[in-house]
Amino acid sequence: MNNPVVTVKEGKLQGTIENLSDGTKYYSFKGVPYAEPPIGKLRFKAPKPLMPWNGILKAIEHGPVCPQIDLLTRNLLEGSENCLFLNIYTQSLRPDSKIPVMIFIHGGGFQAGSGNSDMAGPEFLIQHNVILVTINYRLEALGFLCLDIPEVPGNAGLKDQVAAFNWVKNNIAQFGGDPENITIFGESAGGASVTYHMISPMAKGLFEKAIAQSGTFLADWAFRNNAKENAFNIGNYFGKNTNDPYELLEFLQSIPSNKLAGITYQIMTHEDKVRGMPIIFTPVVEKDFSNCEAFLNENPLDMLMSGKIHKVPFLTGYTTGEGLVSVPNELKKLEVKNKFPSYFLPKQISMAVTEDKAKELGERIKQFYFENRDITRDDVKQLAIIGGLQLTIYDIYRFLHFYIKACETVYMYRFNLVTELNLIKIMLGLEAYDGACHADDIFYIFNNISTREKCEEQKKLRDHVYMVTKFWTDFAKTGNPTPDNTCNFKWNPYTKSSKEYLRIDETLSMGTNDDKMHIDFWNKLFIDAGLPGLSRSSL
């Protein structure tokens, strides 16, 4: 059969047959709609259930991406607001196959990216006989505008993800999948999204396991207070001065979608520019409205600390050079950070303390990492260390500190593979520095147009890819990344007492204290700011 046709609840889908590198056939269904197009009066609102269609819908090409600005080139990717599509890759179409399912949520700071195969090709993962589903969701203002009204309470992009999960739950058996064995996984903003689904009542029961790479909802860039201000700032930018959220909504629904792509860079404050990453359209705590289901209506940290979380097997970790990704941006801020080192503080600390206390804590960072001298362009290593801790690493340890009290099935890793596949590090021109950059791990999990040829030519790279993807898929299948001593190695769980993690490197080993000095330092900053941290002896 050249053109496989599958019947789902909404109609018929026609896909294609593709081949893995060893000649094994698999089925591909791209550009599958999972919700009604969020256009016109549906812009900014929660997704609507997909209506049935007549005839056979071709699922051969990817659907449009959400309008966005490319994070590396700053070029406009026009895409379309009609972007709520997913892609399915499977080796069987028999409804009784019961193949474990993995749903990938892409990163990109909630403002860029897609589930398309140019970045998220399926071949590395599905060689292990799992089904891969990749999804698009609305981004930046289109996905995360908040007006604090029932029509636009916020979190539309996360509700898109839930709509995709529901579609998969309802239909994946027709593609050979097991609807009772679904793992959600994501990197960066995708990782933060995964942890949001772990606390959202809306996502309860839609997945059995979770993998969060380089991101949790505790990160500064993953959460926003007073988000309504952003919406009114967009109105002001386009010349609409009003205090009425309904008048503003009608106005913003009339703006061409490509004019909203990249609006972050037009309206962000000085504080947004100099502290952390320039990400301002993010998940929020929604106000309570009757007849309006909230994705999140409590503070996420409070929910985590009180155990209001779905207790699923969880795998998480980070790359050793996380902060390299922030270095180009940080080098532009040297003057202001030399003068005001308090800008090195995470936003959650700066908001919790007085100006004098912030100044003291900032000076403490400058003393610890630069011995109180002026920071220069030669300080890439130190800036990368600070960036990694501030943006990702410390909050992963903090998340685990509370999650481990609720769930005992937890695995952690520290990713330090550095090869020709570390595309982000290479594109940033930072190959001379130690560690794997933020998002470099993605290229060991997904077949990518920029790395495909390298993997075909070099067995060593294929071996690395096989190892990482076997860990991930074994975890998705069983809740244990080494159920049969994968790669002749046993990955021990992360426990309250052991705090062990896997060092993913040229050779595999378990570790506990690689970053202890830095984690202890940042932990004391949080505790001295009066914020929940780890225990005094963190690792």
How many C-beta neighbours within 10 Å does residue 61 have?
Answer: 11
CA distance 539 to 534: 9
CA distance 280 to 285: 14
Q: Do the Cβ atoms of 173 and 311 come closer than 8 Å?
A: no
3-state SS record for 263-308: CHHHHCCHHHHHCCCCCCCCCCCCCCCCCCCCCCCCCHHHHHHCCC
CA distance 155 to 24: 40
b/e map 247-269, b = 16+ CB within 10 Å: ebbebbeebebbebbbbbeebee
CA distance 189 to 194: 9
Question: Kind and range of the H or E element at 468?
Answer: helix 459-478
Contacts of 269 (CB under 8 A, 6+ apart): none
Question: Kind and range of the H or E element at 12?
Answer: strand 11-14
DSSP letters, 105-146, are: E--STTTS--S-HHHHBSHHHHTTS-EEEEE----HHHHH--
Beta bridge partners of 12: 7, 56
Q: Do the Cβ atoms of 255 and 239 come closer than 8 Å?
A: no
Q: What angle do CA 143, 38, 112 make, to 5 degrees?
A: 35
Which tokens sit at 481? 């990344």
Q: Do the Cβ atoms of 122 and 167 come closer than 8 Å?
A: no
Q: How do strand 209-213 and strand 314-319 relate by DSSP bridges?
A: parallel
Amino acid at 243: N
Which residues are the active-site residues? Answer: 188, 322
Q: Do the Cβ atoms of 56 and 7 come closer than 8 Å?
A: no
Q: What angle do CA 502, 109, 89 make, to 5 degrees?
A: 70
Maximum Cα interatomic distance, the chain, rounded to a whole number of Å: 71
State the sign of the Cα–Cα–Cα–Cα dihedral 467, 472, 473, 479: positive
Q: Do the Cβ atoms of 188 and 162 come closer than 8 Å?
A: no
Q: At what angle do helices 380-388 and 355-370 cross, to 10 degrees?
A: 130
Beta bridge partners of 77: 68
Contacts of 539 (CB under 8 A, 6+ apart): 397, 499, 512, 513, 515, 516, 519, 520
